[in-house]
A and B are shown apart, each in its own frame.
Chain A
Amino acid sequence: MGAGVFSLDFATLHQLSHSHNLSAARHRHFANVIRGPAGKGVPGLNCVSCHQSENADSTGVPGGSNWHLAPLSMRWQDTNDRPLSSGAVCRALVDRSRNNGLNASGLLKHHEEEPLVLWAWNPGRRPDGTMRTLPPLTHAEFVAATRTWVDAGTPCPRAR
């Protein structure tokens, strides 16, 4: 898998698992939810005010361990909600000053084990009872692709 395509997959998955904007449609969170200083909401309106330790299929609220947003330094869209390019996302991903200090093996481990990454393959039901859309590849395929990318030296597309 080429780096460009791979970065696009990263973007899709990260968006599903972490972003303030939600789903493939990238819509904003409803109910005036605020990111807060630590990406966990604000007192009185925390992420965990609704999102519990696992999916709540009877009410359609997704959940998982330590539900929170990825930090703004790892945002994958600009402040006007326009998606960043695959190259820009990739460069943010490998920049240890922006990615919580993760080196290549740390990124691989993140994709292998981080509960909110794993949530993308167990996203539960929407409020209307239908199942949420799964990523376009299995978690094993995702990890294998990450390993290929890491082994290649985490290349990024040249495009801005």
Chain B
Amino acid sequence: MATYQLNVNGQSRQVNVDPSTPLLWVLREELKMTGTKYGCGISACGACTVHVDGIATRSCVVPVSLVGDRPIVTIEGIGTDAVGRVVQEAWIERDVVQCGYCQSGQIMSAVALLKATPKPTDMNIEESMGGNLCRCATYVRIREAIKSASEQLK
């Protein structure tokens, strides 16, 4: 076990965990932030996506020991970000969610995309969101919401 001081959504949080513990389980089990979901556990589905130092990161495969002092933003905190807030509003406006399980990861990836590419093409969206799977197949509405958010971010 080791103690880590994590910066999560702008707050300093201390955890005492095995260094090999994936960040996902530190967030969910230690910090009780259950908005970030466990999907596949092998970074194949994107449900566990959070931002680490602004990079969309698959928290299920990143041991907490490798996070360091890089700031972490989760779905619980993304709404305080200007782009994040617009994306969440677009998600509501377009009624994207069906079962909702993958959607926190979808939103985190979409925010990362729009921060880097404010006016994404369909190809940009396909490539950037291609690692986020949705078994309800909400892909068309996800694309619409990203475009709607992009318009709002003019």
A50 touches B58 (CB 8 A): yes
Dominant secondary structure at the B interface = mixed
Interface status of B14 (Cβ within 8 A of chain A):
no
Cα–Cα, bound, A52→B132 (Å): 19
Which of B56, B61, B116, B124 makes the CB contact (< 8 A) with A61? B61
Which residues in B have their C-beta under 8 angstroms from that of A153? none
Do A50 and B66 form a contact, CB below 8 Å, given A42-B128, A43-B56, A43-B115?
no
A44 touches B109 (CB 8 A): yes
Cα–Cα, bound, A140→B31 (Å): 46
Cα–Cα, bound, A160→B58 (Å): 42
Interface status of A66 (Cβ within 8 A of chain B):
no
Cα–Cα, bound, A57→B110 (Å): 29
Binary per-residue interface labels of chain A (36-55) against chain B in the complex, 1 for a CB within 8 Å, 0 otherwise? 10000011111011101110
Given A44-B132, A49-B55, list of 9 further CB < 8 A pairs? A43-B116, A44-B49, A44-B112, A45-B109, A45-B131, A50-B43, A52-B62, A58-B22, A59-B60
- A interface, CB within 8 angstroms of B: 30-34, 36, 42-46, 48-50, 52-54, 56-61, 63, 127
Cα–Cα, bound, A31→B43 (Å): 7
- B interface, CB within 8 angstroms of A: 20-22, 42-45, 49, 55-58, 60-63, 66, 109-110, 112-113, 115-117, 124, 127-132
Nearest-neighbour CB distance to chain B for A124, whole angstroms, equals 12
Which residues in B have their C-beta under 8 angstroms from that of A36? 127
Nearest-neighbour CB distance to chain B for A45, whole angstroms, equals 4
Cα–Cα, bound, A127→B43 (Å): 11
